[in-house]
Structure 1
Amino acid sequence: MATNEGGFQPPTISETHLPEIFPWMAEWGTGFGKNMLMVILSVIVISWFFMWAIRKQSLVPSRAQFAAEAGYGFVRHTLGRDILGEKHFRKWIPLLFAVFFFVLVNNIFGAIPGLQLPTFSHAGPAYALAAIIWITWITLGFKTHGPKFMKLMTVPSGVPKWLLPLLVVLEFLSNFIIRPLTHSLRLMAVMLAGHIIVMLAGSGVEFLVAQQGGLDGYGLGALILVGSIPLYFLELVMMVLQAFVFALLTAIYIQGSIEADAH
């Protein structure tokens, strides 16, 4: 970054928040913006693709049907049966399926020219989705075990009684406060970091070409552009990986509620 006046000014986090399209609560800085629009678009895209892919089911599947069945099979077996077990996994497949593909599509939006905004690079959507999972986990735990669930999640077995006052507080904070925060912030932080890297590369190229010009400006701009290509594919990998991790943790939390008394 240049320190002299008129030098390169890198993009800031605030610049990742685009102006709202319909700012109905301007004093709170909220409204209907590109972020919300892309959430709605993701639901439409996911629904349309799977309905279109399975419209003509065949023993010899088309490419679209094969992709849809492969995606469903991945969620069913890897995130469902392998984590929750044969006895419990079937009823949770719809939730895991929705979570995985919802996060995946909203992440991949950040790699599509013109859209280039991963929805979960903003904290709000990540907090909202993690809150839904947290409420589901808590509700399932109390429904399965009753009030005993609180003890199961806060009182570790096999420890000296004199340590319990400290450990109960730590377990409560870990399971009921820190868990949903890390579930959301992990996703948000990775998506935000990737988004800023793309913005930084783009603004750097623009500055070098438009402001500097000449052989040095065009040469360095082209070098940054070429160097950003591996970063683009790395970000794409992280988008898929974070969708998998978020859905995997969802399955683990559900499994923990169901079998809390076995721990």
Structure 2
Amino acid sequence: MRMVHVPKDLAPPADWLTKAAAASAALNNAKTKDERDALIEAKQAIWRDDRIRNWLLGLFHNKCWYSEAQEAVSAYHVDHFRPKGQVTDVGRINPEPGYWWLAFDWENYRICGQLINVKKNDVFPLINGHRATPNDTNSMKLEAPALLDPTTEDARLISFDMDEDGCRAVPTGGADEEDCARVMTTIEVIGLNRLDRLNSKRAQVWQDCREKLASYAAASGEPPALKRLHRALMITELKKRVAYESELSSVAEACIRKNGSELVCSQVFG
């Protein structure tokens, strides 16, 4: 998974922010849960608005923030990372009130492929059970979600590897026991390995990188000038594969780091 960069000096379109702020104010003034639920239902067009959706899509070059796939897998949704309705643990058990006060907060939004968003649904388990509350601004900082957030360094905890079922998400080498547990929870909750089409797309990227690495190694038997030219071309192609804007660039990075020589890695990532 590649971390999504959300520049701190940028914000969604001003006219959308005005509408979202008004909805949030009304939400905070609602007296009962029924009033809040009705308002969220009535104002759901706010997070479905093309203005915010397209702005969020542009932050990650039209890729799903969780799978890093460009939509050959499913349609895009604007996902509430912290669910706005009820929240449940893995297995959709132990329902609790959700993060209703974040319903119109763009910083809680993530671009998500439809099939992944449907699988995630309202599941949002915590490690220590302490859940944030709307009246304590510091409570969010004390919360320890089990799900990895693609807008944070959490994303680096997921890597990829090949097996008989294709290219699958796995914990990054060196991750400790707690982090590995978070990775496995995330893979289960959002279904990172359940879509054959996604596994196949990742496998194609992996195989392409393996072929380029093999081509780089095979150039050792060529005349010096041709060898330099051939290897420079392969490095250029591999750099394109791991570029931030490229689809499934994190898969390409995992393949190169696991299969490339130290020399190749220094040229691609140096």
TM-score, normalization by structure 2:
0.29
- Structure with the higher helix share, 1 or 2: 1
Of structures 1 and 2, the larger Rg is shown by 1
TM-score, normalised to structure 1, is 0.30
